[in-house]
Amino acid sequence: MSGVNKVILVGHLGKDPEIRYLEGNVSVASFPLATSETYNKDGKRVEQTEWHNIVMWRGLADVAVKYLTKGKLVYIEGRLRTRTYEDKEGIRRYATEVVAETFTLLGRKSDFEPAGAANTGNVASTPAQKAEDKEIEVDFTENDQEDNPLPF
């Protein structure tokens, strides 16, 4: 029986995705994602935040750069990958990241406009337009299953 490597996260982007283009014009986007949980400790509410390094490839990376911005709430499915590299001093380092296979934007319809388009001044003013601003989900999935390691 083979193992299972599955990650499911719901969190907020810590910053806008950064996109790079590798050999053959292969796009790769990366960004930090914050997930938080709360619990009670000695009668006080405590919030603990974890940061995850997210990597998206090819078409999924292109869509992420178009729609995701710092602070947006997103559902991500993918797998864990740990890679090794040497830093500038020649010391071997390890990085664990989530290689996303799909993501779903969570929030209002207006949250799904491409980055930068939300501030064009086109604000919904009629009740019918405001009703369209209800919470919906948009799903994006990477169809290319080739696994390319990051070159850094």
Q: Is the pTM of this model over 0.75?
A: no
C-alpha–C-alpha distance, residues 72 and 66, integer Å: 13
What is the pLDDT, as a whole number, of residue 108? 74
pLDDT tens-place string over residues 26-57:
999 999 999 999 999 999 999 999 999 999 99
C-alpha–C-alpha distance, residues 56 and 43, integer Å: 40
pLDDT of 82 strictly over 50: yes
Within 10 Å of residue 30's Cβ, how many Cβ atoms? 18
102-118 mean pLDDT: 72
Residue-range domain boundaries for the chain: 7-108
Whether 97 and 129 have beta carbons less than 8 Å apart is answered as no
What string of H, E and C letters represents the secondary structure of 73-128? EEEEEEEEEEEEEECCCCCEEEEEEEEEEEEEEEEEHHHHCCCCHHHCCCCCCCHH
What is the pLDDT, as a whole number, of residue 47? 95
Chain centroid to CA 40: 28
Query: How many Cα atoms occupy the beta-carbon half-sphere of 120 within 13 Å?
Result: 9
Query: How many Cα atoms occupy the beta-carbon half-sphere of 88 within 13 Å?
Result: 0
Whether 113 and 133 have beta carbons less than 8 Å apart is answered as no
CATH architecture of 7-108: Beta Barrel (2.40)
C-alpha–C-alpha distance, residues 110 and 127, integer Å: 15
What is the pLDDT, as a whole number, of residue 103? 96
What is the pLDDT, as a whole number, of residue 107? 81
52-81 mean pLDDT: 96
Q: Percentage of the chain surpassing pLDDT 90? A: 68
C-alpha–C-alpha distance, residues 81 and 128, integer Å: 46
pLDDT tens-place string over residues 113-147:
665 554 443 333 333 333 344 444 556 665 544 44
